[in-house]
Amino acid sequence: MASIMRMPEVLANATEAIIANWLIQEGGSFVVGQGMAEVETEKALVEVPAETEGILGKYLAINGASVQVGAPIAILLSVGEGQAEIDSLMAEAGVQASSIPEPVANISTPSVVQEVVAETPKATAPKAESNGRLFSSPLARRIAKENGIDPASIQGTGPGGRIVRRDVQDAISTGTKPEAKFVNTVIPQGTFVDTPHSGMRKAIARRLTESKTTVPHFYLSAPVIANDMLNFRTKYNEWADKKVSVTDLILKSVAAAFTDVPAANVIWTEASLRQFSDVDISIAVAADKGLVTPVVRAVNQLNLGQLGLATTDLIDRARAGKLKQNEIEGGSFSVTNLGMYGTDEFSAILNPPQSAILAVGAAKQKPVVIDGEIQIRSIINFTLSVDHRAIDGALAAQWLAAFVKRFENPFWLAI
């Protein structure tokens, strides 16, 4: 029988969410478990599955609408039901068709700019007179006076035969080639589109502002010689069924560094310092609507093949907006890699309540001194951002040294 579909609580304690995209068209049928809509929370894009089978009779919330949890978003029908049931349930829910919002129109306003244009002499019109009065602009009269020209001798080309500046200038240059002049032209401003902030973008802005203003950050950086690790990756991928990325090797090195310095695997809470036994690492993924940070669980327990499969799956689903809520929660550490964009070095903002984030730059050929000689090596700049409440400078330095040692000497990966 006909029923009302309501906005589910896809995020714990959330009060509202956004209809990002309906996956079923009005009038379309669906089966149990089929995706009905993509709902955007503050942290992820979640697909809402159908709990029954039926037909989507009418949207009560369009794409882009922000809806309170529990509010009606659609009317679902059974075979044989139609407009009568839709009207009845809309009345029951207190929803009118006119209450469904329309998209916001774009706005464009004109502006006056000055441009250089080449003008050719234009056909003249008889001088305009009214009771013997000569019609001309003040600017035209001034230019004519300055150049000793009688305005009465000029044929006006303005509205109604009015003498304008260009007429005087044409009179001055009579017999010469057309010349460039400045004229005021009204052209429209570049059009623009206002895109309302998504829930995800609002959450990113709020959380990072909170992090930067309430968490005492400090930063450590280290240039790391990456030749051996990059060579290891090349050789590994020649033999392995599942290829690994540089990010995968960074994650393994991070986990190994926490094995070496377990005291750094902590987060700050108001009541205590919480230390973890496994290493759960968030990886920053650039999605269409903002930054998503899925968590790779127990990296310390995964071999390279398992890690490559896990990260590929999470990254692909993060970009497609298919992550589950539990896949973006938790973790004590983050890795953000902008090296693929050629970024040499940067500092990242902590992702609360995590205590550290490692920013990764591009591998670039640079001169280094080895055994007293200048040699060229592939260098990656790593910058560690740390919550000083949870980790002191000396402890952070120990951890970074352990990471550098692991990354520069990858042979432990074979053990």
Other CB atoms within 10 Å distance of the CB of residue 166: 17
Ramachandran assignment for 313, one of left (phi > 0), alpha (psi -120 to 50 degrees), beta (any other): alpha
Q: How far apart are CA 37 and CA 98, in angstroms?
A: 22
> 3-state DSSP call for residue 297?
coil
Q: How far apart are CA 69 and CA 36, in angstroms?
A: 16
Q: How far apart are CA 119 and CA 123, in angstroms?
A: 12
In eight-state DSSP terms, residue 275 is: E
Alpha carbon 358 to its chain centroid, in Å, reads 20
Q: How far apart are CA 115 and CA 303, in angstroms?
A: 65
- For strands 281-283 and 333-337, give the pairing: parallel
**Dihedral sign for Cα atoms in the order 147, 151, 155, 158:** positive
Give Cα separations from 18 to 8, 9, 28, 241, 312 (angstroms): 11, 11, 21, 40, 27
Active site residues: 388
Burial class of 56 by CB neighbour count within 10 A (0 to 12, 13 to 18, 19+): buried
The residue among 122, 348, 361, 133 whose CA lies nearest residue 226 is: 361
Report whether 300 contacts 261 (CB < 8 A).
Answer: no
Q: How far apart are CA 51 and CA 330, in angstroms?
A: 29
The residue among 236, 252, 264 whose CA lies nearest residue 298 is: 252
Encode 11-71 in three state secondary structure. CCCCCEEEEEEECCCCCCEECCCCEEEEEECCCCEEEEECCCCEEEEEECCCCCCEEECCC
In eight-state DSSP terms, residue 151 is: G
Q: How far apart are CA 319 and CA 321, in angstroms?
A: 5
Query: Within a 13 Å sphere around the CA of 396, how many CA atoms are in the beta-carbon half?
Result: 22
